[in-house]
Amino acid sequence: MKKLSLLLLSMISTFFLAGQTPGTLDLSFGNNGIILTDFNTLDGVGRASAIQADGMIVIGGSAYNGNVDNISFTRYLPDGTLDVAFGSGGIVTVVMEDTEEKLYDIAIQPDGKIIGVATHIDYESNMVIIRLNTDGTMDSTFSNDGILFIDFDLPTDSYGMSLDLQEDGKIVAAGYLYDMAGDIQSALCRLNPDGSFDNSFGTNGIVIHDILSKKNFINNVVLQGEKIIIGGLSFSDSDSGFVTLSRFDANGLPDMSFGVSGNVEVFVPLEFWDQDPEGHMCLDAEGRIIFAGYVIGDGNQIAVHRFEFNGSPDNSFGDNGMSVIPVEGNTRAYAVTTQYDGKIIAGGYQWIDNYADFAMVRYLEDGSPDSTFGADGTGVVITHVSSGGYYPDNRIY
């Protein structure tokens, strides 16, 4: 049976727009705040989103053709209708022979070009960077054909998970790989705007970093001025889980002023059997680091961490830098962002009785729930949609 791809899932008012309560669906968007996009394939998944300067919304993910997943991009007008000037009716699918690709993150360049990072799965897995022109065609000025495969000079599996753009147009991408000993290490690279490696960074544009001798599922990178921060979940051999961060100077060397020798780890109770890259990271206006994921307790619960600029937990937030707000069922966060007023919004899912709904929580400065968000005064919104991202006119998608 063909599934509809629930890509741009909702627009939710975060302030009083048109008299609506913050945290309720924006009825001016799509069909009562929700859009379903049919890819004409068996399945479609949206994993990343970005807003263009003109208000158009770009979703990146994958489309399953019955055999493998292919990279997909979808662009919508601000009202939620498909942008027919982009690709074929608003949709671009990138097919690379009979191999599987899964896109995990996207960004919009100042010139409007769309860049994404993915994992290419064949006999080995490799990080892939892809760039589109504004109309959805492949950008031939990037790595000759718009696609760059990165193997980190190792004959092992590597996974592309996140990217960010420097002000000078250079591209920073991060993920993880298996080294020759079979250990899971963080992987980071920096590219020039044309897709060539930036040889002023690390070793020929590449950094492979062992974070505290753990299994490092790095799936986030953010730029803190000229500093580069990567983050994700790590696991030790003793069944312990950690939120892990590392910071690098502009040349790719560890920033020794951050945490301990450039690394930060915070123990969190995680599902040890479920060792995968999870969680999402962003910075607030003060440069503090926010990481949203989950902890185990009475089921899984959304957990948001805040760290000071130097990597130490921000003890003014939640309980020693972590806020856990109980929500019925199992919940996990897959996206986090901040508003201009400093409030934090984490989005993910709620799982009850084999059904998943979208869960979203808004936090005040101290990590407590914002009672003005949502209709019931709890700061928690549960609905049948899913998402992550902050829209310029105070809406979340």
> How does pLDDT run across 135-170, given as a tens digit for each residue?
999 999 999 999 999 999 998 999 999 999 999 999
Compute the residue count for the chain: 397
For residue 91, being part of any structural domain is answered with no
What contacts 354, CB < 8 A, 6 or more positions away? none
Residue 8 above 70 pLDDT?
A: no
| Confidence at 358, pLDDT banded by 50, 70, 90 | confident
What contacts 150, CB < 8 A, 6 or more positions away? 126, 127, 128, 129, 158, 160, 173, 189
Separation of alpha carbons 94 and 92, rounded Å: 7
Report the pLDDT value the prediction gives residue 42, as an integer from 0 to 100.
58
Residue 261 above 80 pLDDT?
A: yes
| Confidence at 14, pLDDT banded by 50, 70, 90 | very low
Q: Quote the tokens at residue 291.
A: 């990481």
Residue ranges with strand state E in 95-250: 100-108, 114-121, 125-132, 147-150, 158-165, 171-178, 184-191, 206-209, 215-224, 227-235, 241-248
| Segment among 235-239, 293-297, 311-315 with least mean pLDDT | 235-239
Q: Quote the tokens at residue 40.
A: 């004409």
Residue 13 above 70 pLDDT?
A: no
For residue 28, being part of any structural domain is answered with no
For residue 136, being part of any structural domain is answered with no
This prediction has a pTM of 0.91
For residue 295, being part of any structural domain is answered with yes
For residue 386, being part of any structural domain is answered with yes
Range of the domain at 313: 279-397
Q: What percent of the chain has pLDDT over 90?
A: 65
Residue 25 above 80 pLDDT?
A: yes
For residue 169, being part of any structural domain is answered with no
For residue 175, being part of any structural domain is answered with no
Report the pLDDT value the prediction gives residue 64, as an integer from 0 to 100.
85
Q: Return mean pLDDT, the chain.
A: 88
Report the pLDDT value the prediction gives residue 109, as an integer from 0 to 100.
97
For residue 387, being part of any structural domain is answered with yes
State the total domains in the chain: 1
Look at the alpha carbons of 93, 120, 243, 310 in this order and tell me if their dihedral is positive or negative: negative
Report the pLDDT value the prediction gives residue 201, as an integer from 0 to 100.
98
